[in-house]
Amino acid sequence: MAMNEIPVGKAAASTPRGGRRAGPLRRLWRGFGWFTTATCVALPVALAIGFIWFVSRVPADEIPLDRNADGIVVLTGGASRINDAVELLAAGRGQRLLISGANPTTHPIDILRLNPEFERWIRCCVDFDRSVNTRGNAIETRRWAQSRGFRSLIVVTSSYHMPRAMAEIAHQLPDVALVPFPVVSDRRNGDPWWTNEAATRLLVSEYLKYLVTNVRLALGASKSA
């Protein structure tokens, strides 16, 4: 064998292409790169699929109730929510109504002025709390329901807000039956949401809040006092 000849088998097998052996750090870096790339692709896809699922849970039309409950709670944010909740109270769907998240300047007389035909029920059976967000609504709802001994509640809020509201209230009251009564927003007046810029922004914003809420609850958020 000539001196400048190199045995093909051993030398070729021991030397990677390019003449340099890939060390552990290089292999780790390559693996990290693949993981990062896969994550960057998978995360937007997962978020998009989740958003489609979320939108499918938002009713486009009001759903009639099929049962009564001990109490009714309405989360403020739109005048139609309170009107619908008062109508449910007057129809005997619940014993009392909690208006959760009411403005500090709001009093029963203001509700009565808007719904004079329901004066009897507003004067006797409507309570208020002044919570400022959905988590606060849920905490105050727990206090109210427990003080009244209620074991079932009708939850009234906008349809797009219902998934997050139900998640928060169910966390605070796991042993209480919750009956959703979604109020369809004027922004979803029968037109597809993707044709309405305001409705699209609203749904995307609420979806992201819903995700954050579920992560917080999954990490063991406390019920607070």
CATH number at residue 113: 3.40.50.1980
pLDDT above 80: residue 2: no
Q: Sign (positive/negative) of CA torsion 132, 50, 180, 161?
A: positive
Q: What is the DSSP letter of 188?
A: G
Closest CA to 131 of 98, 156, 153, 157: 98
| Residue 25 belongs to a domain | no
- pLDDT averaged over the chain? 83
| Residue 199 belongs to a domain | yes
3-state helix, strand, coil in the chain (%, to 5): 55, 10, 30
Give the chain's domain count.
1
| Residue 100 belongs to a domain | yes
- Looking at 14-23, 52-61, 93-102, 148-157, which range is the least confident one? 14-23
Closest CA to 211 of 44, 50, 45, 55: 50
Average pLDDT, stretch 148-156? Answer: 97
| Residue 15 belongs to a domain | no
Q: State in Å, rounded, how far the first CA of the chain is from the last one.
A: 88
Question: 149-171: string of b/e by CB count within 10 Å (b at 16+)?
Answer: ebebbbbbbbbbbbbbbbbbbeb
CA distance 77 to 185: 11
pLDDT above 90: residue 72: yes
| Residue 51 belongs to a domain | no
Task: Find the domain containing 126 and state its range.
Answer: 71-218
The model's pTM is 0.78
| Residue 187 belongs to a domain | yes
| Residue 2 belongs to a domain | no
pLDDT above 90: residue 16: no
Average pLDDT, stretch 63-89? Answer: 90
| Residue 184 belongs to a domain | yes
